[in-house]
Structure 1
C-alpha cells in the first residue's frame, strides 16, 4: 500500500510511529516535501519538490537473513530502478547503500528500527540536487535526463524492492550480495573508511565491507562513512 502526503517532517519518522502501532510490512509513505528529512548520522537531507522521499516497513521473520543486510536489498532495488531511467553503467552503488553517479551522490538510504520492524527510507534526487556542499551531488535531471515522475518512480521501486526482498527471504543473502557486487565500485577501488585508506576487497558472506590495507591486512568494516578515493 502506497500513501502520499503533501508535506511531513520525515517519512521515516512517520513510519516508525506507524510500525510501532502495528502497520504491516509493505506499507509505503511518500512525501512531496519533507521539513525534517535526515540521512545517516542525523545529517539534514535537502527536500525540494520533484525528488523522491519515501519509506517502507519490513518485518523480519524467523529464518530471514540478518536485518542489517536489508541495506543491500534496498541498494540493489534502488539501483535497478534508477539505472532503468539513467541508462546502463551510469550509476553504481557505494557501500553500503549510497547510489553514485561518478563521484557524486544521487541517492541515499536510511534504515531504522522500531521494535521488530525495520523502516527503510529512500531519498533520490530526481529533479534537483543541492549545490555547494562539501561533497558533490547529482540528480537524474542533472545528468541530462528527463526527471521521472516521483509517483511512477516509487511504483517501480516498490515492485523491485518486493522482488529482491522475496529473494532475500527465499534464497538468502547470496543473490543479493552478488547483484550488489555487480553494480558497485569494482574490486581494488581505493576507499577511505573511518579515516583509514585501503583497497576494496569485496563483501564477506554477511555483507560486511572488506578493506585491504597496504600491509596486506584485511579489515572488516561494519559501520561508518566510506568514501571513494580519487
Structure 2
C-alpha cells in the first residue's frame, strides 16, 4: 500500500510512529515535500518538490539475516529501478547511489523495536549545490526523468522481490548483486581511519578495506568515499 501526502516533516519519522503502533510490513509513505528530511548521522536532507521521498516498514522475523544487511537489499533494489534512467550508476557502501562520482540517491535505515524503517531519497528533478561532496539528479544528466510516483511504484515492487530473496536465500544473492553494482575492486576508498583499497564485502556485508601493508580492515559503519 502506498500513501502520498503533500507535505510532512519526515516520512521516516511518520512510519516510525506507525511502526510503534503496530503497522504492518509493506506500508509505504511518500511525501511530495519534506520539511525535516534527514540523512545519516543527523544530516539534513533537502527536500524540494519533484524528487522522491518515501519510506517503508520491514518487520524483522525469526530467522531473518542480520538487520544491518538490509542496507544491501535497499541499495540493490533501488539500483535496479534507476538503471533504465542512469545505466552508469554505482553503489557506494553501504547504500548511496552515485553517478560519475556524484550522489543521486541516499537511503536511511532506522531501527524501531522489531521493525526497520527504510527511507529512500532520490534526486529526480533537483539536487543540492555547494556541498562538500558533489550531487546530481536524473534530470540534470538525462534531461528527462520519471515522475516520483511512478518511480516509487516500481521501487515498491522490486524491493518486495529482493526482500523475499534476502529471507529465502540468505545473504549470498543480495551480496553478489550488490558487488556487481558497486565500484570496482581495487578502488581507493577514504574512511575516517584512513585510505585503503576496496576488497569486496565479507559474508556479513561489512566492507573489506585492504590497507597499504596488505592487511584487511573490516568497516561496519561510518562514511566511506571513493578516494
TM-score range, shorter chain: over 0.9
What TM-score does the superposition give when structure 1 sets the normalisation length? 0.97
Residue in 2 that maps onto 1:30: 30
CA drift of 1:204 comes to: 0.3
Structure 2 residue corresponding to 1:184, chosen from 176, 182, 185 = 182
Q: Does 1:213 align with 2:211?
A: yes
- 8 A Cα contact 2:85 2:142, kept in partner: no
| 3-state SS of paired residue (1:129) | coil
Counterparts of 1:66 and 1:145, CA distance in 2: 39
Counterparts of 1:56 and 1:11, CA distance in 2: 9
Residue in 2 that maps onto 1:166: 164
Unpaired runs of 5+ residues, structure 1, are none
Length, aligned pairs only: 227
Superimposed CA distance per residue, residues 126-147 of structure 1 (whole angstroms, 9 cap, x where no aligned partner): 1110111111001000102312
Residue in 2 that maps onto 1:134: 132
What TM-score does the superposition give when structure 2 sets the normalisation length? 0.99
Unpaired runs of 5+ residues, structure 2, are none
CA drift of 1:84 comes to: 2.0
1:53-64 matches, cutoff 5 A: 53-64=53-64
| 3-state SS of paired residue (1:19) | helix
Counterparts of 1:77 and 1:85, CA distance in 2: 14
| 3-state SS of paired residue (1:22) | coil
Counterparts of 1:97 and 1:145, CA distance in 2: 25
Q: Does 1:45 align with 2:45?
A: yes
Q: Does 1:65 align with 2:70?
A: no
Please give the root-mean-square deviation of Cα atoms over the aligned residues, in Å: 0.7
Counterparts of 1:156 and 1:63, CA distance in 2: 27
